[in-house]
Structure 1
Amino acid sequence: MSITHDSLLHVLPEGSLRIGGERHKDSSGGSMERVDPSTGRPLASFVLAGAPEVDAAVAAARAAFPAWRATTADQRRRVLWRIARLIEEHEEEIKTIVALETGSPLSMNRLTMGIDYLDYYAGWADKLGGEVIESYPNRALDYTRYEPYGVIAALVTWNGPVINTLMKIAPALAAGNTVVVKPPENGPFAVLRLAELCSEAGLPDGVLNVIPGGPEAGDALVRHPDVDKVSFTGGPAVAAKVAAVAGEHLKPVVMELGGKSANIVFEDADLDTAAGMAAMMSVIASSGQGCLYPTRLLVQDSVYDQVVEKVLATAGTARPGDPMRPEVNMGPVIGAGACDRILGQVERARADGDGKLLTGGTRLDGDLADGYFVAPTVFGDVDNASALAQEEVFGPVLAILRFRDEEEAVRLANDTRYGLAAYVHTRDLRRAHVVAEAMDAGYVSVNSFPAMTATAPFGGTKASGFGREGGRAGIEEFVHHKNVYIPLG
């Protein structure tokens, strides 16, 4: 059956810039056509911001900042809460837009996490109190205040564009900042619709601006003198450029980057649960396009064959196809470039002997041939020093390794430049705590996939970035501490 979405195209918002509460249909950056990753056909076009539009968006955010900062905490709380309720009302519409532009299956697409961020940080808006500090040797009233930075630049990734945007703007807005969002080129429409809903909820003009654009727009936004802080989600290569530009202006940044997360399965684990999660969250869900997915599976020798068999069985349950169909649980990868890159990495692994290809490794054909579908791919007996084990594929490719004992498992898991997430499967409570403590990762999950609630901080170490999204740490990224000292005698 041919995959077409023509009857659903009406849900896509107009592909214009949102600056200061107004739509800008023309731009110095020209326009771009988004290709439907499920069909390979044109989907819709949208305007790209150039340097003048970046200037306009930042100017609008700067102009809106004093009034938004002065808005009482309870008013900011109510606005965020209303945005959350509007997203709930329009959830099916937004999910459809995300499915159209990214290929993420409707059945696997949830906005619950993003809504949770809005509700959670709405609650923080009136709780950002400072502290009174003991003063000596002289008597004084010495206290701290949490104050917003000003204008935040948010550079958002395409996998989960709405959730990723809300993870950034919810704490930033709650703290009193204004924001300029650059959504991804391969997924701008859902973020543009989100901006419309924010306006409907009563967010004042200029507080949130959305400007789709390419690398030039991103560079102009990061280096803009009126941008006070940058929050970036993406890959390490682009992050290094963002950090370098921000560093020229001594501008603080938050970086949520990639990962090559180890998933350790000990012989005493629930093997069905461990293997099922390992396969589902690496080669099926989002077609493996997730930064915290467990893409390195480390299995103890004594249960290696059992786990591999179970992983392959779960990989065989993938139902790729039209992301709008309810039975589909696996969509395409994001585009032609990603498809070629992933298959190229698979071919290099085969040529270099980086393990044994157990299943997949090809582009799907037949009714799916025009889309960018890559088969669930699993390699066994992979060497941890190989490119397959060390490089982030960002596609449906799982590398399985063996280990002998706890010490070797920890050594192999930490032997990577990344440090975003780690996973441990065991029934031994002592081992769970000891191994979790030993992981060089910002997030460790035991016997499960992370819940990723708004209440908990999320972020990485090493090449996986720095700074946190979520929890109290997430809102503290968007405030600085001011100390006030008043002598009393």
Structure 2
Amino acid sequence: MNIPSKPASIDVEIHGNFVDGREVEAGNGAMLDIRNPATGDVIARIPNSTADDIDRAMKSARAAFEGKAWGGMDTRARARLVNRLADAFEANLDSLYRLETLNNGRPVNETRAQLSRLPDFFRYFAGLALSRRDSVIPVEGAYLNYTLRTPIGIVANCTPFNHPLMILCKSLAVVLATGCVTVVKPSEYTPLTTLKLAQIFTEAGLPPGVFNVVLGLGASAGKMLAEHGDINKLVLTGGTEAGRIAGSAAAKVFAHQTMELGGKTPVMVFDDFDVDRAVNYAAFGAFIGAGQTCVCASRHIVQASIYDEFVEKLQAKTRTIRVGDPFDPSTQMGPVISAKQRDRVLTYANYGHADGARLVTGGVAAKVPGHDNGYFVEPTVFADVKSDMRIFQEEVFGPFTSVTPFKDEADALRLANDSPFGLAAAIRTRDVARAHRVAANVKAGIVWINDHHRLDPASPWGGVDDSGIGRECGAESFNDHFNTKSVMVATHEQPFDWYRDTANQKRLN
């Protein structure tokens, strides 16, 4: 797809699944429209995969896993290939970030910055593959005990619309570095960069079948992929209920699971922290990606002594954010992904009013000249929010944050942990001891102290409770892509017959 810097009109492309290194026809004839969320225009059409389509992709992946071209490749050769894929990604960065902006509406400044980091994920895991060592384990007696690790096989990956390539690559990089294969079902809203990357990697030398893509609705194609009897691991980023359904299906075949699900990130702002800096982090944490992130800074819990100042300054900061055409370099926030998502955000604004919270700014659809059919929402802040309100407890997934006062550290932690979720949390303080104390006691898998949204391929990423299970990134993710085999070798030459003198045997195992 050729994307001008500010596309006025684009030919509608028809795509199929990507299997065995090429696009193939799929579905039963009905096609799904892919829209540019900034304009509402149809930019592509994709099939809704059938069970036969899913099975075809899975059989292709299994053949690649067991075949010589990929399954027989040694570790060093595979690491060199993964590094070449990282180079190919970088060489195509310009077209990838523009296509991502076209498909999911994030401003070009965001997609460029985010996608430019992704080649490092491949390089990091290629390095881990080269440095990996199996264990020799000290055991009792004259025995040598060591472990062998083998790639688990097929990783089914269901990715969301908010960060299509970043969330894909967090899994794809480790899949390729460990010698596994993958079948990816991207969001039905944002499949275009996933298809493009599959093509780029194939042209860079990735063997056919290693990276297959199936298209369609999550409720049908995604469900069939999660239920497929030949998956060895399920990776899913999405809503908590979708995770429960998919996870239950994958559990029937005892597949490994990594799920990053919903979140309601608490940000605890203490009165020893600079208020202006806290406000800048608040706007960044809440409104980057139009707030469509699982780690959106959606609950600001602010010490009472600075509460009024914080709310006033956050109002002023939020009103300066430029909402507009995502291809315009001056734009700071683009649309949400769909009309449905826009309406969801506005519904939660109504909940805020109904439950007695105070609207500080936003809460309505945004008008962007020349983009009348786009899905724009003004960045929204509610204050005086109590912990039993829906906007405090439920994930909105849009440019929407709340502010709640707290009295002391214990009160801040009580409010922060009053949630079914436990993905991320953030702390704003200059008190080092307090920072570590609160980080240890807040319910979360990720904690930022005086920062937000930071991630690294070496740092584990994931949550607890309703925010999911397992970890992406780091050695934790790498190790979960292997089956571990323990080999016990008797190094003695002693005679053995359990049944000759059973009563005097000292040990059975």
Q: 1:249 aligns with which of 253, 257, 274?
A: 253
Counterpart contact for 1:260–1:391, Cα < 8 Å: yes
Q: SS of the counterpart of 2:315?
A: helix
Alignment partner, residue 317 of structure 1: 320
User: For residues 316 and 425 of structure 2, what CA distance do their matches in structure 1 show?
Assistant: 23
Which one of 64, 69, 76 corresponds to residue 71 of structure 2?
A: 69
Equivalent pair of 2:285/2:453 in contact (CA under 8 Å): no
Distance 1:348 1:450, change over 3 A: closer
Question: Match for residue 303 of structure 1?
Answer: 306
Deviation at 1:6, TM superposition (A): 4.1
- Counterpart AA for 2:481: F
Question: Does residue 1:394 correspond to 2:397, yes or no?
Answer: yes
Query: What displacement does 1:31 show?
Result: 1.8
Equivalent in the alignment of 1:224: 228
**AA in 2 matched with 1:51:** A
- Please say if 1:168 is aligned against 2:167: no
Using the alignment, how far apart are the partners of 1:125 and 1:226 within structure 2?
25
Per-residue deviation at 1:248? 2.4
- Residue in 2 aligned with 1:469? 472
Name the residue aligned to 1:486: 489
RMSD: 1.7
- Partner of 1:384 in structure 2? 387
Q: Indicate the larger mover: 471-480 or 162-171.
A: 471-480
SS of equivalent residue, structure 2 residue 246: helix
Superposition deviation, residue 13 in structure 1: 7.3
Superposed counterparts of 1:203-352, under 5 Å: 203-214=206-217, 215-282=219-286, 284-352=287-355
Bigger mean CA deviation after superposition, 190-199 or 41-50: 41-50
Q: State how far apart, in whole Å, the 2-side matches of 1:486 and 1:232 are.
A: 39
Paired with 2:223 and 2:64, the residues of 1 have a C-alpha distance of 23
Q: Which amino acid aligns with 2:353?
A: R
1:102 matched to 2:104: yes
What secondary structure sits across from 2:447 in the alignment?
A: strand
Is residue 431 of structure 1 aligned with residue 431 of structure 2?
Answer: no
Q: Distance in 2 between matches of 1:123 and 1:465?
A: 28
More displaced stretch, 373-382 vs 219-228: 219-228
Question: How many angstroms apart in 2 are the aligned matches of 1:204 and 1:86?
Answer: 15
Q: Is the 8 A contact 1:29 1:49 kept in 2?
A: no
Quote the offset at 1:8 in angstroms: 7.1
Equivalent residue in structure 2 for 1:111, among 112, 115, 118: 115
The answer to whether the aligner puts 1:141 opposite 2:176 as a matched pair is no
SS at match of 1:334: coil
What is the CA deviation profile of residues 281-334 of structure 1, one whole-angstrom value per residue up to 9, with x for unaligned ones?
21x311100101211000000001111122112211211111111001100000
Distance 1:300 1:193 in 2: 47
3-state SS of 1:362 partner: coil
The one of 173, 194, 197 aligned to 1:191:
194
1:78 maps onto 2:80 in alignment: yes
CA 1:29–1:149: 2 relative to 1, 3 Å: farther
Deviates more, 1:399-408 or 1:308-317: 308-317
CA distance in 1, matches of 2:5, 2:117: 29
2:505 match? none
Query: Equivalents in 2 of 1:23, 1:365: separation in Å?
Result: 38
**Aligned residue for 2:16?**
16
Residue 14 (structure 1) shift = 5.5
SS at match of 1:357: strand
Q: Secondary structure at the match of 1:172?
A: helix
Task: Report what 2:58 is aligned to.
Answer: 58
Letter in 1 for 2:51: A
Is 1:201 aligned to residue 201 of structure 2? no
Partner of 2:35: 35
Structure 1 residue 74, shift from structure 2 partner: 1.1
The gaps in structure 1 that reach 5 residues or longer are none
- The 8 Å contact of residues 280 and 314 in structure 1, kept in 2 or not, is answered as no
Residue 128 of structure 1 corresponds to 132
Q: Deviations over 1:341-384 (max 9, x none)?
A: 1111111221221x101111101125243210010110001001
Contact kept, 8 Å, 2:17 with 2:214, in 1: the verdict is yes
Q: Identity over the aligned pairs, expressed in percent?
A: 36
Report if aligned partners of 1:276, 1:310 keep a CA contact under 8 Å in 2. no
2:387 and 2:450 map into 1 onto residues whose CA distance is: 22
> Contact 1:13–1:193 (CA<8 Å) still a contact in 2?
no
Residues 4, 140 of structure 1: alpha-carbon distance in 2 compared, 3 angstrom cutoff: closer
2:429 is equivalent to residue 411 of structure 1? no
1:69 Cα deviation from its structure 2 partner: 3.1
CA distance in 1, matches of 2:479, 2:274: 38
Is this contact kept in 2: 1:34–1:45, CA < 8 A?
A: yes
Tell me the distance in 1 between the aligned counterparts of 2:368 and 2:61. Answer: 49
Helix, strand or coil at the partner of 1:84: helix
Residue 88 (structure 1) aligned with residue 93 (structure 2): no
The amino acid of 2:198's aligned partner reads A
Would the aligned equivalents of 1:5 and 1:100 in 2 still touch at CA under 8 Å?
no
Moved more, 240-249 or 428-437: 240-249
Does structure 1 residue 150 correspond to structure 2 residue 153?
Answer: yes
Once the two structures are TM-superposed, the CA of residue 7 in structure 1 deviates from its matched residue by: 5.2
Per-residue deviation, 1:35: 1.7
The DSSP-based 3-state class of the residue aligned with 1:407 is: helix
Q: Deviations over 1:23-65 (max 9, x none)?
A: 1134336321112111112122123321111000000000000
Q: Distance in 2 between matches of 1:305 and 1:416?
A: 24
Aligned partners of 2:454, 2:9: CA distance in 1, in Å? 31
Whichever residue aligns with residue 416 of structure 1, its letter is: S
Partner SS state of residue 231, structure 2: coil
In the aligned structure 2, how far is the partner of 1:462 from the partner of 1:472? 22
**Matched AA of 2:202:** S
- Name the CA distance, whole Å, in 2 between partners of 1:4 and 1:148: 42
Contact 2:85 2:201 (C-alpha < 8 Å) held by counterparts: yes
The 3-state SS of whatever aligns with 2:117 is: helix
Does the CA contact (< 8 Å) of 1:149 and 1:480 recur in 2? yes
* Worse-superposed segment, 235-244 or 273-282: 273-282
Q: Which amino acid aligns with 1:87?
A: F
Task: Please list the CA deviations of residues 77-134 of structure 1 after superposition, one character each: whole Å capped at 9, or x if unmatched.
Answer: 1111111111111111001111111001101112133222111011112233210111
Aligned AA (1:389): F
Return the offset for 1:213.
1.5
Hey, what's the Cα distance between the residues in 1 that align with 2:138 and 2:103?
Answer: 55
Query: Distance in 1 between the 2:56 and 2:25 partners?
Result: 14
Mapped partners of 1:487, 1:58: distance in 2: 40
**Contact 1:254 1:467 (8 Å CA) reproduced:** yes
SS in 1 for 2:131: coil
